[in-house]
Structure 1
Amino acid sequence: MILGNPSYNRSPVPTLQSFIWVADYYDGTSFLEYDSKTKKNNSYYEIEKDKLIYFGLIGEGSQVYFDVANGIFQLNSHRIMISYKTDNQEYPLTGRTFLYNDIIQYKDSSSDANILNKKEQGNFDSRIEQYNIGYKKQMYLVDANINFQCILTIPFKDSPYLQIKITSDKDLDGKIVIRTDGIVTEELHAPLKENMSGNLNWIIR
């Protein structure tokens, strides 16, 4: 396996992509966006989700990934957990023995065009602006049906951040609680209206 082993922290195709996605399977094998030996590109849609244990990114000397068994993110060995807390109840959105294998992966790109260039090729300069990995999960916790989506975003020039999206089937007046290595890092007031999504971006510190 690759994720969790800090010696694997570089993209095998750095001139193409600073980061590549990695899928680790329970049988000890790994499936990479670009094969480390042949440099062959593999399709995201060929990932065997029923075999996943970890999914994430490697590159630029770093690893960022999440544990499919509990949804906890690992950022260079730091564990990030998320819950939603009201005055009466705390709803653990990660850290439960659910299966977080409805994975999400995409890249945000931009292109610059040279409209004065008459050549058929070379008119566009494309670049990846940020990499995104995460998951979505529907769960019943205590007394509420909750849809939870969490995406970790790595911009090209800025600090990484979490895109958190929560929907509940009942009104909730509470806070999003973020813990790093078991210690509360931040509590953010985030009231939820029935069947309306609440969205928040949190810069990882």
Structure 2
Amino acid sequence: MILGQKQYSRSPVSQAYIWIADYYDGTYLSEYDLQTQHAHRFYDINKEKLVLFGLIGQGSQVYYNVANGVFHINADRYSISYECEEQEYPLTGRTFVYNDIIQFKNGSSEANMAGFSGQGNSGAFRNTIECFNFGYKKTMNLNDAQINFQCVCSLPLKESVFFQIKISSNLDLPGQLVIRKNGFVVDRIIAPLRANHAGIINWDIR
């Protein structure tokens, strides 16, 4: 296993971060092999064996625990719940399996149009990854409501790390999101839900 071991915090390739999938039998799959740098596909991940999923690079480890959905951002643990009518419903920290994993990158391309001028010349493109993202989505029942919850941790190269939180319900819920860091409440966000409409919040990690 790689995640949770501090000596693994650098990408083996020029890409700033690579994803890591840790399995319950102690093995793992990485986006690029840590020794040979051979590339692996995201769809090769065995979700049935998955226990931890996240990124390493830039001297950091960021990942989540598949058994409870709690995020580990370096040395800190982040959990999320929904509070409605004086009742708090954990969205993470439950004995579910959060193995519907998400991973994607945001990037841009720049074209050198000057390369098209002149006979025999061709244009040059430069592709740049600007943000790395990982997380999961999960459907769960909270009392009479069916909740669709998605949480993605985004790591922009030039901005602060943040959570993209998306939540919807089949019922109207006049509640709020509660975010905890290492067990202590660090934020409450008013987040009433309309039935069958998704709400999306970007929350800067602090």
Tell me whether the two structures share a fold, i.e. TM-score over 0.5.
yes
How far apart in 1 are the matches of 2:144 and 2:205? 30
State the alpha-carbon separation in 1 of the partners of residues 195 and 98 from structure 2: 23
**Does residue 204 of the first structure (1) align with residue 205 of the second (2)?**
yes
Aligned twin of 2:129: 128
Q: TM-score, normalised by structure 2?
A: 0.96
Kindly report which structure 2 residues correspond to 1:34-73, keeping only aligned pairs within 5 A, or say none: 34-73=32-71
Q: Please give the secondary structure, in 2, of the residue aligned with 1:131.
A: strand
SS of 2:115's partner is coil
The match for 1:89 is 87
* Structure 2 segments unaligned to the other structure (5+ residues): none
- Residue of structure 2 equivalent to 1:33: 31
- TM-score, normalization by structure 1: 0.97
Separation in 2 of the partners of 1:24 and 1:93?
A: 22
Q: Secondary structure at the match of 1:41?
A: coil
Give, as a single letter, the amino acid of the residue that structure 1 aligns with 2:69: G
Letter in 2 for 1:191: P
> What displacement does 1:88 show?
2.9
Could you tell me how far 1:87 is from its partner in structure 2? 2.3
TM-aligned CA deviation for residue 79 of structure 1 = 0.3
- My pick for the range that moved more, 17-26 or 138-147, is 138-147
Aligned positions, number? 202
Partner of 2:195: 194
CA drift of 1:150 comes to 0.3
**Structure 1: 4+ residue segments shifted above 6 A:** none
Q: What does residue 139 of structure 2 align with?
A: 138
Letter in 2 for 1:60: Q
CA distance in structure 2 between the partners assigned to 1:170 and 1:43 by the alignment:
38
State the 1:135 CA deviation.
Answer: 0.3
Q: Counterpart of 1:184? A: 185
Shift of 1:90: 1.0
CA distance in 2, matches of 1:168, 1:90: 15
Query: 3-state DSSP class of the match of 1:45?
Result: helix
Structure whose CA Rg is larger: 2
Residue 111 of structure 2, aligned match among 79, 104, 113:
113
Corresponding position of 1:18: 16
Identity %: 55
Distance 1:143 1:181 in 2: 29
Look up the match of 1:2: 2
Structure 1 unaligned segments of length 5 or more: list them: none
Aligned residue identity for 2:35: K
1: CA distance, partners of 2:143 / 2:181: 24
